[in-house]
Amino acid sequence: MTLVKQACVKVAGFEDFHKRLSRKIRVAGKSDSTLNCYTRHLAAMALHFECMPTELDMEQIEEYLELMLEQHDTPSESYFKFVVYSLRFAFKAEGLDYKRISLPAIKHEKKLPVILSRDQMRRLLRVPVLLKHRVLIGLLYGCGLRCMEVRSIKLSDIDFDRRQLHIRQSKGKKDRYVPLSEMLCRGLKAYIEAENPTTYLFNGKPDGQAGGDFDSRYSQRGVQWVVQQACKAAGVSKEVSVHTLRHTYATHLLEDGLDIVSIKELLGHERIETTMIYLHVAKNGRKAPFSPLDTLYGVKA
């Protein structure tokens, strides 16, 4: 039983609260992942104190946040952030004076991203045995995609004639187009012909069960596993995540001479400051957007 279901059963009033909060979150235009994240943290608090999270006073909230620090030693920024944000949203949604509750500010660690060299990227693209995995890594790096974006690609999103990929309703509910490398187009065509995917480019099985609906998306864990296994096989010892390939995409484009504004647009960032976190040098002059897969193998000068 999930935390939310446990809270609905064990904590009086939580089920109705969950329904109200779900409606508020959707009306606010937030994603299902935000809904799940907020309600999971609020359910954990409700189960811990055996009461509604909106009934907590400041001392109890501080006690809970301190407990999070003790249990997780140094909890990740995103984990601690959503504990705080879910509380703020809950108080506001219930019409309570959330401003009087002085929740602690979140300190953002200023860490530089891990970037792979061009040689490491070549090895990473070469080692997967399955064409599916090579194409997956090629899309993550060659188009600078987030994990959710690569999982959500539908066959109808690929435009081979214009060599573009349509990223639909990504972070911030924004659409964007990114260029497809000529090499990636060839790989995609070969993969589609061999595997014959249906709705999604990368189909998966629900809950890992055989015989399921193959119109489901490839799982997040599956994408992470592909990248991790490729890193092992390629002898890449850096701490690499799926998002590392997106950072590498942006950095290689910068090194190839593409300007910072175009990179911001390709990444789908809302603010230029976000792009500047890991792009250290912006060269002058604008070029038409292109994929770093072209320059990686000398296809484009």
DSSP readout, 136-191? HHHHHHHTT--HHHHHT-BGGGEETTTTEEEE-S-TTS--EEEEPPHHHHHHHHHH
Whether pLDDT at 295 is above 50 = yes
Report, in this order, helix, strand and coil percent for the chain, each rounded to 5.
Answer: 55, 5, 40
Q: Give the pLDDT of residue 291.
A: 85
**Catalytic hit among 40, 118, 122, 243:** 243
Instruction: Decide: 280 and 292 in contact? Cβ < 8 Å.
Output: no
- Contact (Cβ atoms closer than 8 angstroms) between residue 141 and residue 247: no
Please state, rounded to an integer, the average pLDDT across all residues of the chain. Answer: 84
Q: Which of 41, 146, 252, 264 is catalytic?
A: 146
Tell me whether residue 243 is one of the annotated catalytic residues.
Answer: yes
pLDDT, tens only, 183-201? 999 999 999 999 999 899 9
Which of 134, 246, 247, 252 is the catalytic position? 246
Whether residue 246 lies in the annotated active site: yes
- The reported pLDDT for the residue numbered 274 is 78
DSSP readout, 56-75?
Answer: --HHHHHHHHHHHHHHHSS-
- 3-state secondary structure string across 77-99: HHHHHHHHHHHHHHHHHCCCCHH
Could you give the domains of the chain? 3-100 (1.10.150), 118-296 (1.10.443.10)
To the query of whether residue 171 is one of the catalytic residues in this protein, the response is yes
Helix/strand/coil for 282: coil
CB 293 within 8 A of CB 187: no
Annotation marks residue 98 as catalytic? no
Active site residue 146: yes
89 contact partners, CB below 8 Å, separation of at least 6: 21, 24, 25, 38
Quick one: pLDDT at residue 58? 80
State yes or no: is 122 an active-site residue: no
- Contact indicator for 146, 243 with CB cutoff of 8 Å: yes
